[in-house]
Amino acid sequence: METYVDKRIQRSTSAIKSAFLKLLVQKPFQHITISDIIREANYNRGTFYAHFESKEQLLQSIIDDTLKEMIEQIRVPYKNLATVNLARLNSKDITLFQYFIDQVSLYKLLLSDHIQVDFRHRIALAIERLFIEEYEYENVPPTLDIKWLYIYRSHGIAGMVIRWIEEDFQTPQEEMAQQIIELMLVSTDVFRVKFGARHEHNS
């Protein structure tokens, strides 16, 4: 009996989330009502409130689920390792970019202006939290505050994948996986100011 109840709860919760996402494609979050959601999901108001306090909590639940799945994909290449040598990491073990391709509709929706949450920032914060909780870098210069290394890398990776999604995956996923590894390894000591940019700035 308990298994049946659990499956029924999962089914109704999933139906409500799917209905809500379908409505979000059609119109902005602020224009969607609880009545719209339950009508689309074919459930009553009581069922909705048995799972969610509000449409805001419903959106938050979807975002939490999405970010949890993303973090699980980031963990894939090292889930059975105690130490990760980035220089030896096989880019083929990075499944994150295939995950984004598979979930492109969801990510484009959550990155759109149809929701009232800065999903770009939420992606970066989720990666930052993962790095802080699970990564311990070696050979960090003693003058560098490790906090900023975590922030720099996590927000950089977030920006990279968001741009890749927005550009409709123009760069092959295999190349993106390799680029992630290269970016985690790269060290640049010197840069030169391009003459054209300097001339334009001074004119």
Chain segment 181-192, per-residue pLDDT in tens: 999 999 888 988
* Contacting residues for 29 by C-beta, under 8 A, at least 6 apart: 55, 59, 114, 115, 116
- The pLDDT of residue 5: 54
pTM attached to this predicted model: 0.89
Chain segment 19-33, per-residue pLDDT in tens: 999 999 999 999 999
Interval 40-46 mean pLDDT: 95
Closest to 30 measured CA to CA, from 101, 143, 115, 103: 115
- The pLDDT of residue 67: 98
- How many C-beta atoms surround the C-beta of residue 155 within 10 A? 17
Residue 4 has pLDDT above 80, yes or no: no
Chain segment 115-160, per-residue pLDDT in tens: 989 999 999 999 999 999 999 999 899 999 999 999 999 999 999 9
- The pLDDT of residue 8: 83
- The pLDDT of residue 2: 55
- Which own/partner contact pairs does 161-167 have at CB distance under 8 Å and 24+ positions apart? 161/96, 161/97, 161/100, 161/123, 162/111, 162/120, 162/123, 164/97, 164/100, 165/100, 165/104, 165/107, 165/108, 165/111, 166/111
Interval 52-80 mean pLDDT: 96
Average pLDDT, the chain: 93
Under the banding of pLDDT at 50, 70 and 90, the label for residue 6 is confident
> Cα–Cα distance between 172 and 150 in angstroms, integer?
26
- The pLDDT of residue 198: 62
Under the banding of pLDDT at 50, 70 and 90, the label for residue 195 is confident
